Chains A and B, each alone.
Chain A
Amino acid sequence: MRVALFVTCVNDTLRPRTGRATVAVLERLGVTVDFPMGQSCCGQPFLSTGYRGRTGPLVRRYLEAFGGYQHIVTPSASCAAMVREQFPRLAGETAAGVASRTFELTEFLVDVLGVTDVGAYFPYPVAYHPTCHGLRVLGLGNRPRRLLECVKGLELRELAGAEECCGFGGTFSVKNPAVSAAMGADKARAVTAAGASAVCAVDNSCLLHIGGTLARQGSAVRPVHLAEILASTEGEVW
């Protein structure tokens, strides 16, 4: 099977290792990965800040880059939600097809490939934070947990108040810094209390906020994208 990777602008620029991990997992499962170079940003930061009009060129760019693919896979729940939920509202019918063929990584693994054991090894206690767009817009349900439960060596720790937003919210973190920081601090404290050595999610933007807060609190817990855990093997622990 051939898929197109939509790596997202945040991962491309700030967390390329998540993109590399996604490629590694997919290739390990026998999937051929393409990376259409014309891809850029899905436009989410513009829409969520009120610049709906600025999303047009980015939506068109996405449709052009990925229009020819049957499966488009992205390691970001909020970008997948943007494409699936908002593109049809922004661009109408033309976007509906591509939107419905865009999958968040765990959806693709569990629903399309039908696997939960990807042969990963990650010998650490991990807390899983279900990000809001994955949880409430995409309805990822227990897919991420099922994948994590199959990872050898991994010990899943319960995270108190797991379903509560971390407080990132894109430009919310800058427009409402005090509330964002208060929410982030509560989330970081819950992560530390979970006794995990890594906090994992399916969205790096949330992880940058949680990780940045943990680091400022002096915590040793590190933020790790789920793809990186799935890419990790006994030969090469990520």
Chain B
Amino acid sequence: MKTQLGMPAFPEAAGRSTRDLRLRANLRHATGLIRERRAAAVAELADWERLRAAAAAVKDRTLRHLDHYLLRLEERVTAAGGTVHWAADAEEANRIVTGLVRATGEREVVKVKSMATQEIGLNEALARAGIRAYETDLAELIVQLADDTPSHLLVPAVHRNRGEIRDIFRERMGHWGRPAPKGLGDRPAELAEAARLHLREKFLRAKVAVSGANFMVAETGTLVVVESEGNGRMCLTLPETLISVVGIEKTVPTWQDLEIYLQLLPRSSTAERMNPYTSLWTGTTEGDGPRHFHLVLLDNGRTDTLADQVGRQALRCIRCSACLNVCPVYERAGGHAYGSPYPGPIGAILTPQLRGLASPLEESLPFASTLCGACYEVCPVAIDIPEVLLHLRARVAEGGEATLRGTRTVIRPARRHTLERTVMDAAAWALDRPGVLRRGQRLAARTRRLHPRRLPGPGRAWTESRELPEVPPESFRDWWARTRGGGR
């Protein structure tokens, strides 16, 4: 996965975001709106819980037999005139795509919004090969023009407001192609029109498109892209060559299975009953759409994740972003603090698994949650995110076995946690000895007048913003013993 080198661990990055009042206001506004609308859209379906259970079950079954379904998919795509490539990691995927674009002789590609290509850093790899990749999703366009990184799965520029977007268009569009119209204002219609004019030029010129996919149907070799703007459809139909980079976990066995997800996804993500554009294609078709179709199947840590019995449920994710929108931590930390294209609760469990506990950032992600459970409650494929967080926390703090690049590996307890481990051991020791605990409580009670109001060291984190609880003169245990004579 694309590692944003030198990324600070989550707490520091998130700490900075909490002080960015404009960012917080933008996020609060955007997530607050979508939260309510999602709840209403979901409430319309009486069988939501059953759909959700079916969605989880189908994904689980598919993942259990993924080898089988992937081979079937390959066979059907090939039979329909497409070419399938297998990429073990980001580097291999980038090499394949770069090679395919070079072979066409083109120097630019248009892109459909895709998480997988962000994950592997495809745009940067193409740029190194002298190929320009133009993002065509409106929000991705904003992010690209601003030389920024996305902060949300579905609304990559959720951290920007309209005024900021107008400024970005005015200043940057000219560098990338058709400049923004003179006197551009910040009304949504004006902004959309500016983007339309800018992008239209690219659609009409481009010979190669790069996309991801939301689903791949194994029984027919059909790929599915679900979107709101129609820009994706332009990319999928106008160019001569289409290259789709898709994570292997996006497979569903049949069209009947697909039906479940097409109900769950729009309601969970944009709170719509149905998304405006659903594009489906199977290989190539004579006289219609791209002449050449390449499917790059991306592993990049997915089979490692699949080897983990608790963690593998993260692979059910359909990237709806409902978990981000309800997450109180995401709302304050913003997407960038998660240091990956996958922010929010899903990012907190997916990134450390796809990349391994590669750096302090990945080690800090499983702790970027209060375990409040709001994400699990809304997740349309019922990923028990809090449970996976606990599982990954144990891997960081205590170490354990994990699969890395196909090999069983023993992970050692994180070094940054040494002091904490000592404290935890001492606490566990005392709590398992009620006599010791009781003496500790009495000592604290006797010295209560001396307790400082602000603590140094790690305790400072608490007293910076909160008063310390006062220690009572007598513990419950002592009160009981005094008034009830010992108890049992």
Contacts and interface: CB of A to CB of B under 8 A. Distances in A.
B488 A34 contact: yes
B471 interface: yes
A168 B481 CA distance: 32
B474 A132 contact: no
Interface stretch (A104-112, A140-148, A151-159, A175-183): A175-183
Interface stretch (B219-227, B255-263, B423-431): B423-431
Contact of A46 (B18, B377, B428, B467): B428
Contacts of A61: 432
A185 interface: yes
Given A34-B487, A178-B14, A215-B467, A52 B390 contact: yes
- Taking residues whose C-beta sits less than 8 angstroms from the other chain, chain B's interface range is 35 or more
Interface in B466-483: 466-469, 471-472, 474-477, 479-481
A44 B206 CA distance: 57
Contacts of A48: 371, 390, 393
B480 A175 contact: no
Helix, strand, loop or mixed for chain B's interface?
helix
- Taking residues whose C-beta sits less than 8 angstroms from the other chain, chain A's interface range is 35 or more
Interface stretch (B136-144, B160-168, B327-335): B327-335
A49 B465 contact: no
Contact of A212 (B367, B395, B421, B466): B466
A54 interface: yes
B373 interface: yes
Interface string A160-173: 00011101111111
Contacts of B480: 19, 35
A179 B329 contact: yes
A152 B160 CA distance: 49
B486 interface: yes
B308 interface: no
B401 interface: no
Contact of B461 (A50, A53, A174): A174
Given A20-B476, A136-B376, A179 B467 contact: no
Interface in B376-430: 376-377, 390, 393-398, 417, 420-421, 424-425, 427-428
A49 to B, nearest CB: 6
B399 to A, nearest CB: 10
Contacts of A168: 370
A40 interface: yes
A12 B364 CA distance: 31
A28 interface: no
Contacts of A208: 469
Contact of A14 (B465, B472, B486): B472
B434 A38 contact: yes
Given A7-B476, A54-B425, A184-B465, A167 B393 contact: no
Interface in B436-488: 437, 441, 444, 458-459, 461-462, 464-469, 471-472, 474-477, 479-481, 484, 486-488
Contacts of A49: 393, 397, 420, 424
Contacts of B394: 50-53
Contacts of B333: 179
B479 A20 contact: yes
Nearest to A137: B373
B462 A11 contact: no
B276 interface: no
Contact of B474 (A16, A37, A137): A16
Given A174-B458, A179-B329, A216 B14 contact: no
A136 B372 contact: yes
A37 B434 contact: yes
A14 B469 contact: yes
Contacts of B317: none
Contact of A175 (B11, B328, B475): B11
A211 B468 CA distance: 9
Given A34-B488, A178-B11, A165 B393 contact: no
B244 to A, nearest CB: 37
A47 interface: yes
B476 A19 contact: yes
Interface in B312-371: 328-329, 332-333, 364, 366-371
A165 B328 CA distance: 7
B177 interface: no
Interface of A: 7, 9, 11-17, 19-20, 34-41, 45-54, 57-58, 61, 132-133, 135-137, 163-165, 167-185, 208-209, 211-213, 215-216
13 contacts: A13-B471, A19-B476, A20-B479, A37-B486, A40-B431, A50-B395, A57-B432, A169-B369, A169-B371, A176-B10, A181-B466, A182-B18, A216-B465
